[in-house]
């Protein structure tokens, strides 16, 4: 059970960001901004799977162009596909189990109905009660995490993280999710991507092998070596 104080703090966060980010709130920093609305409608599409599909097609095209040179891309493609599959399975199962009401139909972020309530009210297939976690966020962040594990270049990683943050913000702005839906999705996607990365790429951290040459012999070889006259 989650302590009452922690639950109240979580719901306070949801109310705070809903008030200051969502386009419905008169206190929103983006209130009545048509350009911002168009921007977030565009940016949220990156969480719909098109980005992953395009990435897979591009990588696969390189691989087909020169299989020998781009042999390593097979693992990258598999990593993206399996991360995408694992995030989609996880998010859809959790959405049904928690059955949280979207902010578009209630101002109370604590409305978790659960699967039995959905079945009793014949609301099982309705999209108004699948707020937790955020599908768009877990989709884009799963890809971002798996790419960040294999890409070392910061000039590529930083824009990816910025994109992920913007997609998460768009879900709150468009009144589709509470902030904790988004944060939970980022966390879940990290562990799912980490699991996939370990299975496909393995643990590349090398354990230092102990030296079997006694210390005094090293000294004898390096310092007390007899000079040849």
Model pLDDT for residues 36-81, shown as the tens digit of each residue: 999 999 999 999 999 999 999 999 999 999 988 999 999 999 999 9
- Which residue from 124, 108, 75 is spatially nearest to 7, judged by alpha carbons? 108
Q: Is the pLDDT of residue 191 over 80?
A: yes
Q: Which two tokens stand for residue 30?
A: 């983006």
Tell me which of 65-79, 92-106, 182-196, 204-218 is least confident.
204-218
What average pLDDT does the chain have?
A: 87
pLDDT of residue 213: 46
- Which residue from 43, 89, 75 is spatially nearest to 146, judged by alpha carbons? 75
Q: In the chain, count of helices (H) and strands (E)?
A: 9, 0
pLDDT digits (tens, 9 = 90+) for 123-154: 666 788 999 999 999 999 999 999 999 998 99
Rg from Cα positions in the chain: 25
- Which residue from 151, 206, 169 is spatially nearest to 46, judged by alpha carbons? 169
What is the pTM for the complete model shown? 0.85
Looking at per-residue pLDDT, the higher value among 86 and 203 belongs to 86
pLDDT of residue 24: 86
Distance of CA 218 to the CA centre of its chain: 50
Q: Is the pLDDT of residue 221 over 50?
A: no
- Which residue from 86, 101, 200, 84 is spatially nearest to 150, judged by alpha carbons? 200
């Amino acid at each position: 059970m989650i302590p009452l104080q922690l639950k109240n703090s979580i719901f306070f966060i949801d109310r705070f960001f809903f008030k200051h980010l969502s386009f419905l709130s008169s206190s929103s920093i983006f209130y009545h901004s048509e350009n911002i609305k168009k921007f977030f409608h565009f940016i949220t599409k990156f969480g719909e799977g098109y980005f992953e599909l395009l990435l897979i097609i591009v990588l696969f095209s390189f691989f087909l162009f020169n299989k020998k040179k781009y042999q390593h891309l097979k693992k990258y493609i598999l990593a993206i596909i399996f991360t995408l599959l694992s995030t989609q399975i996880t998010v859809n199962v959790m959405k049904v189990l928690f059955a949280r009401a979207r902010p578009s139909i209630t101002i109370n972020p604590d409305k978790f109905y659960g699967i039995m309530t959905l079945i009793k009210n014949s609301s099982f297939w309705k999209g108004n009660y699948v707020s937790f976690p955020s599908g768009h966020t877990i989709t884009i962040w799963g890809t971002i995490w798996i790419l960040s594990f294999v890409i070392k270049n910061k000039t590529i990683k930083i824009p990816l993280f910025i994109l992920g943050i913007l997609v998460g913000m768009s879900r709150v702005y468009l009144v589709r999710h509470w902030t904790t839906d988004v944060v939970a999705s980022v966390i879940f996607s990290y562990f799912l991507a980490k699991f996939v990365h370990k299975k496909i790429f393995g643990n590349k951290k090398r354990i230092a092998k102990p030296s079997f040459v006694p210390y005094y012999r090293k000294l004898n070889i390096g310092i007390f070596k007899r000079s040849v006259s």
